[in-house]
Chains A and B, each alone.
Chain A
Amino acid sequence: MGPLSREAWAQRLGAFRASPSAFMASPEGEDLGRDLLSELRSEKLSEQTKVSLLALSLEYPAQLWPDAATAEAAATSLLDTLVLLPPRPSALRRPLLLAATTALAAGDALGPTSGASRRLLPLLLGLASGRDLGRGFGPASEQRPLQATACECLRELESCKPGLLGGCLGLFRGLLGQEGPVQPLSLLLALALRNTLVIQARARAGLQGLLVAGDTPTAGGPWNWALAEEGDAHLQPQAPSWPAAEEEECGLAVLEPNPEEARELRAAVAQLLDSSYLLTPVAQAQLLWLLGWALRGLRGQPPVLFKPQLVRLLGTAQLTLLHALLALKAAFGEALFTAQDEALLLRRLTLAAQHPALPLPTHLFYLHCLLNFPENWPLGPTGEEAAPLLLAPRLCRGLLPSLLHDPMALLARLHLLCLLCAEDEEKEEKGQDWSPRQYLEELLVGLRQRAALDGGPQALATLCFQASYLVVHCLATQPAVLTPLTHGLARLYRTRPALAPHFVDLLDRVGPELGEPLRAVLRQEVVSRPGRDEALRWHLQILAKVADGNAPSATLSFLQAEAAHCTDWGLQQALLQVCRALLRAGVGEGLADLLQALARQLEDPDGRDHARLYYILLAHLAGPKLGVALGPSLAAPALTSSLVAENQGFAAVLMVQEAPAPIRLSVGPRQAAGAVPVLRLRVEVLEPVYSLELRFRVEGQLYAPLGAIHVPCLLPGRPCRPLLLPLQPRHPAPTQLGVRALYTTPAGLTCHAHLPPLPVNFADLFLPFPQAPDGDKQGFFEELWDSCLPKGTESRLWCPLGPQGLEALVSCHLEPFVVVAQPPTSYHVAIRLPPDSRLLLRLEAAQVDGVPVALRTDDWAVLPLAGDYLRGLSAAV
């Protein structure tokens, strides 16, 4: 783009300022940074225009030169422009220095590898030292302002890169002692000193003579980046500007300078403080914050150095100075402020918070300071607003609220009044004419009167509710305050039902102390006064909030009476919202009739549908489930459409969700008894599970279908009795059971999960025979033995024995089925296999490593299973 005229630039800058992001996104934005730099050297543009270009670069370097490389190039270009200026007075030198500094600091380009940094730093230091830098740097008349500007630039660089100027402390001290400009040098020295102390303390290093004027970087010489590298990691948020009580907390390590260093340090601080009256008040305040912070972590540096300044500071009305004083108070506590000093400071603060000569924002800030006053010996919990101990109620008289105050002042003062009332409660009732509590009550009455004004501004209503909230927040335990407040609010609602949204909001925010009684009186207020149509929508809004299981019949009759007046969609929806609230509260009786009536009678089809839906839900869902179904939607964030949101809620709640199983199921030890085999299932859960239903499915047609098992509630870590699952085999064969679980989560969702299949082993089906009636066991066994043939089969096999021998094997696996036993060598075993098979075993003449088994069964199919079973026994012992 060619050179632009002044007007064209003005237009371009205007367009940029209107919306920098839009401008930079447009094709015009691409070249702006480059054009700006080149135009600075144009001879056609006036200095004033160039200053406005530089002003832009001071504000938006990140947009003009978005990365470190372009920022570096820009800074270099700006420095070149500066050097090329003719030696006559120019308004450009100062902004050029500022712009180069800004470009480097904001563009992340400042560092040892940056050529521009290596040029800028010595240049600034030279200017700050008042050295003659040659004719290129302007006439003598400009030296003084440039010296101050250079100090400001250095200070900004030090702020962005702590430790950068650690090597220049001695130089700055020397300059301050001579004829340098006091304010820029003082602030620069204080900042560099603070940063150096912090960095050295962290590194557990001393001051290393940094305070004594010595080798300072000279023009062209190498800059010492060591401290800055050290400090770079420390522009971290862990050091709060408000010194906390515990030093560890803020990460400020404690530095112990040696006596020599301590003396130098004291001298430097005293030098700064002694000339501080020459600084503007805001600069004095900065100096105090910096020095306070610097000395805080130092051992053996009593803060008495500050003492001479205190009286002067206490007398002023200047906000920054009093604030800095409070910072010193917080930093040093009793070491700097005796109890009397503390009391005096508190009094000054109290009077400043109400002094008629000061503006409102100042009053409010001082009030905040009072409630967060850094006491020497605080009693209450930290971090909570409280009236300081020394602030006697008598001192607060002038700080109490009245209706004539601005809303913010009223709320701030009201908070103080509440704190006083809370204290008052702790003491005896003193029988005073006007206790703070009475005054509070009167004030709230006044606020409600104003909120009740028909057509009054929203702000008045908001103020009344904010005040009520604040009072409840502070005085929730005082029925003497809450009772009149509750009734007062009810009266307010009666006068101005249009405040319903405020009431709903208040009910949402306050605890049960006010919430419960307020609900009750509001419900009463609404249902006892039917038939006022303009307020109907507000009444319905309130009822939807306050309707619960209490006195539902009055609410229902109100709704029945008002249903006819609900002619438009909005009112019908509001009416249905109340029904919904009643549904959630578990009101059944009467509500079904109302919903049915609404489903017929409402004009709007949407309303009818809703009523029908609610009716169906009421008829089909049990109470708790209904509560969850109608509760706030868990599935999705709030959507704009109530219908969609509501349906999403239903969908989530009424549908069964697929979920990973929080349940573990296993088969426990069996107990062979009874008419059918029964599996004893052990169950463990990872999270609470309600209304658990376990469903089982058998592969193929081996067993009859199995019944489900129901468990009302299972909790993790709480043992549960084994669940019994009776099996009805159609064939005596092992199988696998497919298992599914249906359950309700604590959030009320119904979930469905597939569990790993459960194996049913062959041995799980074993049942003993009923005992022979006459005790002739041998005869009984022989009878069974004989009955197997000819229908069945006989087989012999070798059952290997483990080291424990036959006795152990039998007692472990076959005990319930032994009919005749001659331990340790001979056992006759009879096993019933439902539905109607038998398996008979003769284990006789056991040897060391095994026992020969003769077996008979009346079911051919059983034979291979029995063989596998017997051969597997020894391994299973």
Chain B
Amino acid sequence: MAQRAVWLISHEPGTPLCGTVRFSRRYPTVEKRAKVFNGTSYVPIPEDGPFLKALLFELRLLDDDKDFVASRDSCSHINKTSVYGLLVGGGELWPVVAFLKNNMIYACVPLVEQTLSPRPPLISISGISQSFELLFGIQDFLYLGQKNDTELNTKLNQLPDLLLQACPFGTLLDANLQNSLDNINFASVTHPQKQPAWKVGTYKGKPQVSISITEKVKSMQYDKQDIADTWQVVGAVTCKCDLEGIMPNVTISLSLPTNGSPLQDILVHPCVTSLDSAILTSSSIDAVDDSAFSGPYKFPFTPPLESFNLCYYTSQVPVPPILGFYQMKEEEIQVKITVNLKLHESVKNNFEFCEARIPFYNRGPITHVECKVSFGQLEVFREKSLLIWIIGQKFPKSMEISLSGTVTFGAKSHEKQPFDEICIGGTAYLKLHFRILDYTLTGCYADQHSVQVFASGKPKISTHRKLISSDYYIWNSKAPAPVTYGSLLL
């Protein structure tokens, strides 16, 4: 399992090439093996220029995608994974693992230790998952904590040295590039015996453990008889353990209050040393019943130096935090809208912020708004065809607020107004954005007293919680709306 080459390409629409190779690295010893393993189906790694062109074409990132091109747009040319075949130099280079994130294309070509014709299934190629880890690793390194382009450039300049550490011969040794950076800096420290490879050096200083639970709630609400509303909580537990010693052991327990919603679909960090089978098997795929395991969820682990995600989970809470409906009716050049939102009584009524965004797609600019809100203020962004209803920090005592009125639009001009492929005709949504600090919807918390640390010194333990909305949609109930299969199973 090894990589033949890796690239970072910035996507620059509007420029002649539509992109620039920001970084590339080839592995000639792996390439040599590829030649032997692939035999007659071997296609050499192209130079950066041709690769850039072929990749952008395949990913539809060139500016001229207006016309039908059979080699890309044919109905039988189906890509179901982020793995592509690129036509370069008369052959097809495959498998090219590539994805676009934040205008940066991450790409690499893993070694396939057999002939490529017929193409083996991806699951059988050991280098494929390594490709993904390498690219995710580079992505994390570039974007975690990165604020501006200068910082990005600095990090890009560090990449050759980092890959020389983390992937000297094309075989990835550590996907955590920050570790490799520290490794370079820590080089002078003599390592004691049995130092984990994922932990460079040791911490010296005041012991402390910080645990933060962030829950995101998403929802799709339709206000329709035959379509069920859906909502889901996704939690992430992030830890930073500053503890002395090479391998300090820590156990964190997540607890739920008596009426809390069980955690499901738990995925843990690889540093977790053992897992209760109840944690492993509680899954949202199965119907939840009262006998579901409801904690405490114990995670024994040996922490790395850096901040890491101890675990992720999902949960099905009994009700969505905010239930609402949105009615929109088209009347020639104007639409009539009514919105009603109700905060559930069990939810902490103390927001960091709360607002509802009501976009109008595939229409002209807003020319006139005549709306009344029962609470909060309404902001109008005419050119963006967007209304923002700022609800603020608290819902009123009644817990229920409403908006109604009419919005008038001007003539549509294709370039300026937002296009959306889903919001056609009456199909429309409003999206809620809110954040509540020191609160989780599931009730999940990490009790300071339940944190066990087997290391020298008594650490200071701090815990944080917050709830954030994410993809919280309320669809216009007066028109068709996109549904998931789950919504149809009433």
Bound pair (A, B): yes
Chain A residues with CB under 8 Å of chain B are 17-21, 51-52, 55, 58-62, 89, 94-95, 98, 101-102, 105-106, 108, 140-142, 144-145, 149, 152-153, 155-156, 159-160, 179, 181-183, 235-242, 275, 277-286, 289, 311-312, 314-324, 326-327, 330, 344, 347-348, 350-352, 355-362, 364-365, 367-369, 372, 374, 383, 394-395, 397-398, 400, 402-404, 408, 411-412, 415, 433-434, 439, 442, 446, 449-450, 453, 455-462, 465-466, 468-470, 501-502, 505-506, 509
Chain A CB within 8 A of B479 CB: no
Report the separation of the CA atoms of residues A141 and B185 in the bound assembly, to the nearest whole angstrom.
Answer: 12
- Give chain B residues whose Cβ lies under 8 Å from the Cβ of A453: 421, 424
Closest Cβ neighbor of B313 among chain A residues: A357
Known: A368-B123, A372-B121. A312 touches B164 (CB 8 A): no
- Give chain A residues whose Cβ lies under 8 Å from the Cβ of B33: 159-160, 235
Contact B79 A357 (CB under 8 A): no
Report the separation of the CA atoms of residues A433 and B227 in the bound assembly, to the nearest whole angstrom.
Answer: 12
| Interchain Cβ contacts under 8 Å between A and B, 24 examples | A55-B160, A101-B169, A106-B29, A140-B190, A142-B187, A149-B168, A153-B169, A156-B169, A241-B125, A280-B175, A281-B133, A315-B266, A315-B280, A317-B268, A327-B126, A347-B283, A347-B285, A356-B218, A361-B82, A372-B124, A403-B422, A450-B424, A458-B73, A462-B73
Which of B68, B176, B194 is in CB contact (< 8 Å) with A458?
B68
Known: A242-B124, A282-B174, A311-B275. A505 touches B70 (CB 8 A): yes
Contact A323 B421 (CB under 8 A): no
Sample of 8 more A-B contacts, CB < 8 Å, known A318-B270, A360-B99: A55-B164, A145-B183, A275-B194, A280-B179, A319-B129, A356-B232, A361-B99, A434-B485
- Give chain B residues whose Cβ lies under 8 Å from the Cβ of A321: 270
Report the separation of the CA atoms of residues A453 and B173 in the bound assembly, to the nearest whole angstrom.
Answer: 48
Contact B236 A357 (CB under 8 A): yes
Tell me the residues in window 43-96 of chain B with beta carbons closer than 8 Å to chain A beta carbons: 47-49, 60, 65-68, 70, 72-82
How many Å from the CB of A723 to the closest CB on chain B?
Answer: 49
Mark the stretch among B195-203, B205-213, B330-338, B403-411 that contacts chain A.
Answer: B195-203
Contact B267 A317 (CB under 8 A): yes
- Scoring B29, B47, B234, B482 by chain A CB atoms within 10 A of each residue's CB, the highest score goes to B29
Known: A179-B193, A408-B81, A502-B75. A311 touches B129 (CB 8 A): no
Chain A CB within 8 A of B288 CB: no
Contact A280 B28 (CB under 8 A): no
Contact B25 A59 (CB under 8 A): yes
Which of B36, B77, B169, B490 is in CB contact (< 8 Å) with A152?
B169
Contact A242 B121 (CB under 8 A): yes
Chain A CB within 8 A of B12 CB: no
- Give chain A residues whose Cβ lies under 8 Å from the Cβ of B74: 505, 509
Report the separation of the CA atoms of residues A744 and B2 in the bound assembly, to the nearest whole angstrom.
Answer: 56
How many Å from the CB of A180 to the closest CB on chain B?
Answer: 9
Interface size class, chain B: 35 or more
Contact B187 A459 (CB under 8 A): no
How many Å from the CB of B189 to the closest CB on chain A?
Answer: 8
Chain A CB within 8 A of B13 CB: no
Report the separation of the CA atoms of residues A439 and B227 in the bound assembly, to the nearest whole angstrom.
Answer: 13
Report the separation of the CA atoms of residues A356 and B233 in the bound assembly, to the nearest whole angstrom.
Answer: 9
Contact A285 B123 (CB under 8 A): no
Contact A62 B28 (CB under 8 A): yes
Report the separation of the CA atoms of residues A295 and B156 in the bound assembly, to the nearest whole angstrom.
Answer: 41
Which of A153, A239, A348, A364 is in CB contact (< 8 Å) with B80?
A364
Report the separation of the CA atoms of residues A514 and B285 in the bound assembly, to the nearest whole angstrom.
Answer: 35
Closest Cβ neighbor of A179 among chain B residues: B193
Chain A CB within 8 A of B483 CB: yes
- Give chain B residues whose Cβ lies under 8 Å from the Cβ of A398: 284-285, 486
Mark the stretch among B112-120, B339-347, B351-359, B459-467 that contacts chain A.
Answer: B112-120
- Scoring B28, B70, B80 by chain A CB atoms within 10 A of each residue's CB, the highest score goes to B80
Contact B1 A286 (CB under 8 A): yes
Report the separation of the CA atoms of residues A149 and B183 in the bound assembly, to the nearest whole angstrom.
Answer: 13
The 10 closest A-B pairs by CB, nearest first: A242-B124, A317-B267, A357-B312, A183-B197, A323-B129, A501-B68, A469-B75, A412-B80, A400-B485, A361-B82
Which of A141, A362, A383 is in CB contact (< 8 Å) with B190?
A141
Report the separation of the CA atoms of residues A179 and B175 in the bound assembly, to the nearest whole angstrom.
Answer: 24
Contact A368 B81 (CB under 8 A): yes
Contact indicator per residue, chain B 25-41, by CB within 8 Å of chain A (1) or not (0): 11111011100111100
Report the separation of the CA atoms of residues A242 and B223 in the bound assembly, to the nearest whole angstrom.
Answer: 49
Closest Cβ neighbor of B39 among chain A residues: A237
Known: A315-B266, A315-B267, A362-B132. A466 touches B82 (CB 8 A): no
Contact A355 B265 (CB under 8 A): yes
Closest Cβ neighbor of B314 among chain A residues: A356
- Give chain A residues whose Cβ lies under 8 Å from the Cβ of B161: 51
Report the separation of the CA atoms of residues A284 and B73 in the bound assembly, to the nearest whole angstrom.
Answer: 40
- Give chain A residues whose Cβ lies under 8 Å from the Cβ of B196: 182, 277-279
